[in-house]
A and B are shown apart, each in its own frame.
Chain A
Amino acid sequence: MSAEILVGEDDLAEMVEQVWVSYLDPEGINPLVLNGDAKQLSEVHSTVSITGSWHGHLVFASTRDAAKKAAAAFLAMEPDEVSQDDLSDVLGELANIVGGNVKAMLPAGCYLSLPTVVLAPDTASYYPTAERITGLYGVWDGEPVSISMWQSVKQEAKA
C-alpha cells in the first residue's frame, strides 16, 4: 500500500493550511504560496519519524529567517527577540503538528517519534532507506519553506 494514495499533496496542503491559519497567518494575509521548487534554499529543518504499519519521515525545512518568523508568530514576539531555543522548539513543533496529522491518515498502528531539529540545510540529513513521495514547496513572507514526506523503500519492497 502506498502512502502516495493514503496521504497526497492535497492532504498535506490541507494540514499545512490549518497550521498557517491557526498560528502563522491567523489574519489570512500571509499564506504559504506554493511554487513547487524542490531545490529552493533551506537552512534549518526538523523531522518526525513514523513507524509501524507505515514507515517514513515528515520533514519541515526553511530558511533561518522563515523559522525565526514562525517562532515569532508562535510566541507572539518580534523576530529579533527569538532565541535559538525558541527556533528549535518551534521547528520541532511544526514537524510534530503536521506529522501527527499525517499519522491520523495512515493505517492504524503507527507511532510518531519525538521531533529532531537540525539547524542546518535539509541536505545535511539523509534517509538512507527512504525516498521522497510528496512535498509542498513554497514561499512564506518572502522566505522558502517546504514540508515533505519520505517513505521507507524497504516497506515498498515488502508490500
Chain B
Amino acid sequence: MKILIADDSRVMRQIVTRTLRQAGFGDHDLVEAADGQETVDKANSEKPDLIISDWNMPELTGIEVLRKLRAAGNDVKFGFVTSECTPEMQQAAEAAGSAFFIVKPFTAERFDEVFSPILG
C-alpha cells in the first residue's frame, strides 16, 4: 500500500514514519507532503491508498484538503493526526469522510489500533 504523510513539520512526518514502523507497518510505500496544497497534488499524482494528515497546515488545512478531494470524487482513505482535538473538529472530520482521528502525542499502540483494520 502507498501511504501519504501530510504534515508541515518535517519532524512530525519523521515521527509518523517511525511510529508506523514501530507499529509494524514499515513495509508500506511512504510518500510525504509538507502543506495542504502539496497533499492535494500528491493525492492526485501519487494515488496513495491512505492519507495521514495534520489538521493545521499552510496553504490548505487538512479538512480543506479532505473536502477538496471528496468534492473531486477522490475516495482515498483519509484521516487526521493532529494535536488539536475538539468535538466540533471530530464532527467536521467525520462529516467530510475522515476514517480516523489520532491525537498528538500518540504511541505505536495507538497507531496499531487505528491502522491494523486499514492496513492489515
Chain A residues with a Cβ under 8 A of chain B: 18-19, 21-23, 71, 74-76, 85-86, 89-90, 92-93, 96-101, 103-104, 108-110, 112, 114
Contact = CB atoms under 8 A, between A and B. Distances in A.
B44 interface: no
Given A22-B106, A23-B105, A76 B18 contact: yes
Given A18-B105, A22-B107, A114-B56, A96 B83 contact: yes
Given A75-B14, A114-B58, 6 more contacts: A76-B18, A90-B11, A98-B83, A103-B84, A114-B8, A114-B56
A23 B84 contact: no
Contacts of A86: 11
Nearest to B15: A74
Interface residues of B, number: 22
Q: Is the interface of A mostly helix, strand, loop or mixed?
A: helix
A98 B15 CA distance: 16
Nearest to A74: B11
Interface in B70-105: 82-88, 103-105
A155 B50 CA distance: 42
Nearest to B9: A93
Contacts of B56: 96, 100, 112, 114
Given A93-B9, A114-B56, A22 B105 contact: yes
A114 B57 CA distance: 7
B10 interface: yes
Q: Which 5 A-B pairs have the closest CB atoms?
A: A100-B83, A22-B105, A100-B84, A89-B11, A97-B83
Contact of A103 (B8, B10, B58, B86): B86
